[in-house]
Amino acid sequence: MKILFISLGCDKNLVDTEMMLGMLAESGHTFTDDESEAEAAVVNTCCFIGDAKEESINTILEMAELKKSGQLKALIVAGCLAQRYKEEIQTEIPEVDEILGTMAIDSVVAAIEEVCGGKSNNHITDPDAELVYGKHRSVTTGGHFAYLKIAEGCDKRCTYCIIPKVRGSFRSVPMDVLAKEASELAEGGVKELILVAQETTVYGKDLYGEKSLPRLLRELCRIPGIEWIRLLYCYPEEITDDLIETIKTEPKICHYLDMPIQHASDRILRQMGRRTNQAELRERIGRLREEIPDICLRTTLISGFPGECQEDHEELYNFVDELEFDRLGVFTYSQEEGTAAAQMENQVPQEIKEERQAELMELQQEIAFEKAENMKGRCLPAMVEGKVDGENAYVARTYKDAPNVDGLLFINTSRDLMTGDFVNVRITGSYEYDLIGELEDEFTE
């Protein structure tokens, strides 16, 4: 059967998608991006915030129209939205044939076969059910980089977050499984591994009795073919000196850390259920920059959390202004039913949320522009992402840039380069968040 597969949401969801694609391909199914050719559609959904839910619902409705017109024989909905709103989806969108919960992605082949056989059997399990891992993946990221999901679920229970209810408690993937998967990815041409989980920093605590991310990183660094390893979603309170030392001393690990802090007001951090305060944030950030002076720090913030007053916002603004993160994103608070924060008093009006978000992003834009200007004259290794159509130029990324979230590097050259090539580039200019550079035959910092 020819299947249209649509993956929404985060990179962790994308790993689930790639496993489902692999299972379907091994069963003889093929894939298409053309709606007119598709015989079946699978939508892997997200429900983390309101915008994600809206995108997921609209996508399902679009596929439902194809189902009604007779183009599609099967419509399968998977992922977080499916887990969270299974009854509503079945009631409101009867064109959906089957639903796969977050821990039932290994039933995707059975779901297609059941629908084609005239049956319907939803596959919904408890979010804390046994993890699905070790499946062959069909990598969709171009082949030169791939995400490695090292754990599932979360134990933090932040008051704004629905993830534990749809993904369950924190559970690590065994280290030998991850090493094998990473080796297979490397054999397939992957040069950059991007480690993801709801929280990567507590990896292994459930399996090995202690935080084992440094040990996992050292194992992955030994895999031939892997040249970059990037860390995302590191909670600040869990960043140990051992982890810092591992990042510092292992040459394959990018000096890049995604560290979501969400706020800087101690009062708001407590209401969020976060397990850190501003003094501790300052200490960890200072420690990271002291030990790894060229580290690139990325963070995310929430504007307009319930009860956030102007003083809280100004405290956060001043914190960002002083700390000068290399990369920063701001989400407006999304009032998600089923979370503790949704029931809190003093919900902030949407207009004020957006005003505060805009102020923070305007400040960050100034910081980012200044940092980009300060990169002029530096020589850095970069990974080629592709050629600019019609020009003697290529798009690349430095260690400071995670794919699809950070900036790009544009290299002007008449030389022929291939996607995934590593080249040395001298930075000659900048344009907003992006950099401009030229090739260097010899690397000198």
Average pLDDT over residues 3-10: 96
Residue 5 has pLDDT above 70, yes or no: yes
Please give the torsion angle defined by the CA atoms of residues 31, 33, 36 and 40, in that order, rounded to the nearest 10 degrees. 40
Backbone angles phi, psi at 78, to 5 degrees: -130, 175
**201-236 tens-digit pLDDT:** 999 999 999 999 999 999 999 999 999 999 999 999
Rounded-to-integer distance, Cα 214 and Cα 203, Å: 9
Determine the pLDDT at residue 71: 84
Residue 444 has pLDDT above 50, yes or no: no
* Residue 161, marked binder: yes
**Closest C-alpha among 153, 117, 116 to residue 133:** 153
* Residue 10, marked binder: yes
pTM of the model: 0.95
* Residue 221, marked binder: no
Determine the pLDDT at residue 163: 94
**167-194 tens-digit pLDDT:** 999 999 999 999 999 999 999 999 999 9
Determine the pLDDT at residue 442: 53
* Contacting residues for 385 by C-beta, under 8 A, at least 6 apart: 142, 394, 395, 396, 397, 403, 408, 419
Beta strands in 180-237 (DSSP E): 192-196, 228-231
